[in-house]
């Protein structure tokens, strides 16, 4: 029987990230603390810049079970939980693309794969986006620009094509992305 070594997330992220290049403006890592609509903490995200995109590791709890959409929104605020985090505005989308990973006229830079919340309300997952950069890599949307960005979780899954948000429904959790 073969034995496999397990690498920590930090080790995997470091391998995936490679060297931080000048076009990333030196930003190698960022994080987000998620809150729900009652302003309760529901977990964290760690974002790591790589030469071809950003790895996003989520460690969440206290969410309703089932598939959920998660997107990068264009303004770094979660100041209005009672209103459903609408202050974070729409998706990160400087190129004006249509929404959806499966859309032939998309995707926009805020589009991410769905996540699945387990029956106990938890999520531990790593995803990757080649569409965005923490610090401004050429050809990718900048997450940490002047008004920042937020990661926003919706109540439903994203169908990856319906405009404007893939049928994802109301926003249920939000985390402001901040450089580490």
* pLDDT digits 0-9 by tens, 98-131: 999 999 999 999 999 999 999 999 999 999 999 9
The maximal CA–CA distance of the chain, rounded, in angstroms, is 54
Domain ranges of the chain: 26-179
pLDDT band with cut points at 50, 70 and 90 for residue 25: low
Res 137: pLDDT: 85
Res 163: pLDDT: 94
Res 136: pLDDT: 84
What is the CATH code for 26-179?
2.60.40.200
pLDDT at 7 over 90: no
Please state the pTM of the whole predicted model: 0.85
Of the candidates 157, 3, 152, the one whose C-alpha atom is nearest the C-alpha of residue 75 is 152
Output the CA–CA distances (angstroms, integers) from residue 134 to 45, 53, 106, 179, in the order listed. Answer: 13, 9, 20, 8
Of the candidates 34, 29, 33, 37, the one whose C-alpha atom is nearest the C-alpha of residue 10 is 29
pLDDT band with cut points at 50, 70 and 90 for residue 75: very high
Q: Which residues on neighbouring strands pair with residue 50, listed in sequence order?
A: 53
Of the candidates 77, 74, 52, 84, the one whose C-alpha atom is nearest the C-alpha of residue 173 is 84
């Amino acid at each position: 029987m073969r034995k496999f070594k397990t690498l920590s997330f930090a080790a995997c992220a470091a391998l995936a990230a490679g060297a931080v290049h000048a076009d990333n403006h030196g930003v190698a890592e960022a994080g987000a603390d998620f809150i729900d609509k009652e302003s309760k903490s529901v977990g964290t995200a760690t974002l790591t810049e790589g030469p071809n995109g950003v790895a996003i590791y989520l460690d969440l709890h206290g969410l309703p079970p089932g598939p959920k959409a998660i997107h990068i929104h264009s303004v770094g605020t979660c100041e209005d939980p009672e209103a459903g985090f609408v202050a974070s505005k729409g998706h990160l989308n400087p190129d004006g693309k249509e929404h959806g990973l499966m859309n032939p006229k998309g995707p926009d830079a805020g589009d991410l794969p769905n996540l699945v919340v387990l029956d106990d309300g938890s999520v531990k997952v790593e995803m990757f986006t080649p569409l965005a950069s923490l610090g401004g890599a050429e050809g990718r949307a900048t997450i940490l620009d002047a008004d920042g960005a937020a990661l926003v979780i919706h109540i439903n899954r994203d169908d990856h094509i319906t405009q404007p948000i893939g049928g994802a429904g109301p926003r249920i959790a939000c985390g402001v992305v901040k450089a580490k």
